[in-house]
Structure 1
Amino acid sequence: MKSIVENAVQAKAEVEKLEMQGYSRDDIYIFAHYKEREEDISDALDTEEVGMKEQGFLDSMKNLVSSRGDELRSKMEAAGLTAEEASDAEKELDHGKLVVIAKRD
């Protein structure tokens, strides 16, 4: 499940909607083009950040040397998007929007 939103207020509403659909905050990921903004919103809304558990060690290490766009696409794929969906979503991030992904394990 993927949603594109304009700001943190809309992201919060989307998270609440997903919770009503049975997703836990551990199942919800929020992406922003700027890492600091992504971290701030994830902290404020108590949602998850994609880490080694979702990505795997080698992909996580590869992201240390790749561009932010490559890193975002990789993390969105780890959160459940196809490569094409992640590429489209990353373009939305370039325009200042946020991407909310919900994925159940």
Structure 2
Amino acid sequence: MAIKKIVENAVQAKSEIEELTRQGYTHDDIYIFAHDKKRSDDITDALDTEKVGMKEQGFLDSMKNMFTSRGDELRSKMEAAGLTKEEAADAERELDHGKLVLIVNK
């Protein structure tokens, strides 16, 4: 079962990640999402968390995301990281407000 956390910024994300690693999760178990792709990539790289890729999504979904809107891509990736369709839609609305979404899934 995936854990979803909503944070305001990268500082709060870092704090949450530190707490999660103390609880036994690894950086490979943690995904960070932001609505802006560059912001998402920068935070993922800075905090050394995992990216949702073909391993999680599969080849066809990864290819499909190249031709969809950012919102559709984010919901698809959050589902691949372990959220239900409804949870991913709720999380994407939080991203619309500039927040970050952390998903933890072993």
Q: TM-score, normalised by structure 2?
A: 0.97
Opposite residue 29 of structure 1, the aligned amino acid is Y
Tell me the distance in 1 between the aligned counterparts of 2:38 and 2:17: 19
Opposite residue 30 of structure 1, the aligned amino acid is I
User: Please, which runs of 5 or more residues in structure 1 have no aligned partner?
Assistant: none
Opposite residue 98 of structure 2, the aligned amino acid is G
Residue 17 (structure 2) pairs with residue 18 (structure 1): no
> Which of structure 1's runs of 4+ aligned residues deviate more than 3 A?
none
Opposite residue 25 of structure 1, the aligned amino acid is H
User: Please, which runs of 5 or more residues in structure 2 have no aligned partner?
Assistant: none
- Per-residue CA deviation, residues 43-100 of structure 1 (Å, 9 max, x unaligned), is 0000011000000000001100000000000000000000000000000000000000
Residue 94 (structure 2) pairs with residue 92 (structure 1): yes
Give the alignment partner of residue 6 of structure 1, picking from 5, 8, 11: 8
Give the alignment partner of residue 70 of structure 2, picking from 65, 68, 71: 68
Aligned to 2:43: 41
Tell me the distance in 1 between the aligned counterparts of 2:23 and 2:102: 14
- Per-residue CA deviation, residues 15-42 of structure 1 (Å, 9 max, x unaligned), is 1111011110001000000000000000
Give the alignment partner of residue 59 of structure 1, picking from 41, 58, 61: 61
Report percent identity of matched pairs.
76
SS of aligned partner of 1:101: strand
Tell me the distance in 2 between the aligned counterparts of 1:12 and 1:66: 30
Q: TM-score, normalised by structure 1?
A: 0.98
- How many positions carry a matched residue from both structures? 104
